[in-house]
Amino acid sequence: MSYPKGGYPGYGPDAWQQTSWDWRAAGNFICGGAGAGLIVFAAISVARGSALAWLMLAGLALVGLGLFFVSLELGRPLRALNVFRNPHTSWMGREAWTTMALFPAGIAAAAGFTAFAWVAAVLAIVFVYCQGRMLQAAKGIPAWREPLVAPLFVVTALAEGGGWFFVANALHRAGTQEALVAFGLFVLVRVFVWLAYRRRLAGVAARGAAIALDRAGRVLQIAGTVVPLAIVVLVVAGAVSGPTILPLVALAGVAAAVAGAYVKYTLVVRAAFNQGFAIQHLPVRGARS
């Protein structure tokens, strides 16, 4: 038996890129996180009435779109119901059960029961945390198994949700200075978590993964952090006023949200290199292990 040059694809001591999760899986993390973050910002904002309803429904729609992307990966869609069977052992199962509670809470908040907005916000954060832990459970992929993945997903979701909240600010007019400051803080915390995450992967991630992560990191730091933070500081300090505020905060929101989506896509698809075979203890004939 002969193998192609470079070895059998997908196995061996050298790192190789996984192909099981592609853009559809990334779409779940991107849309689900952004939708969850938007639900949180809808809850903490001054939005009421129709503004709160539309923000909640938009957040739920993004979460639903993410779940739709997951369904595109299923060869047997009806077997997806099995995900509800093991929430005690599976983070995917916990994500599914959290989703089942999130949608009724969000719909109740949209229907005018505003107390449920906070319930939906808490469930949205739990949902994103489950997503991060689900990725972290893949122990064979260094970029995924890092413990900072879960906090990174949570704070990225909050920054993305805040970004889309201010993109739509011209429609709902619920964006206050306090909400803008919260958005800026989430953007700032996100970049610090990212830098810590990337530092912990130094010397561990495969060369291809490191290149992809560094490229995404540059986008996150410049477009996703410097640009929105500069705008937030200008607006909060009163350096800009009048009709220029709405387009500026919308620009900050787009920059933060798109950069976060690019980081998630990179993490799930382009940086997802298995570590390769690793044998920590070689067997020695005649020696006790």
Q: Tell me what pLDDT residue 286 has.
A: 63
pLDDT greater than 50 at residue 8: no
DSSP conformation class of 86: -
Query: What are the residues facing 274 on neighbouring strands?
Result: 16
Q: What is the CATH number of domain 19-74+86-274?
A: 1.20.1630.10
∠ CA 19-22-25, rounded to 5°: 130
Least confident segment among 12-16, 42-46, 54-58, 62-66: 12-16
Residue 6 — pLDDT band, cuts 50, 70, 90? Answer: very low
pLDDT greater than 80 at residue 78: no
Q: Show the tokens assigned to 278.
A: 């690793």
Distance CA 267, CA 201 (A): 12
Mean of the pLDDT values across residues 170-191? 94
Task: Give the 3-state secondary structure of residue 274.
Answer: strand
Q: Tell me what pLDDT residue 260 has.
A: 97
Q: Tell me what pLDDT residue 210 has.
A: 92
pLDDT digits (tens, 9 = 90+) for 243-258: 899 999 999 999 999 9
pLDDT greater than 90 at residue 165: yes
The domains of the chain are located at: 19-74+86-274
Chain centroid to Cα 138, Å, comes to 16
pLDDT digits (tens, 9 = 90+) for 206-221: 889 999 999 999 999 9
> For residue 64, what is the enclosing H or E element?
helix 50-71
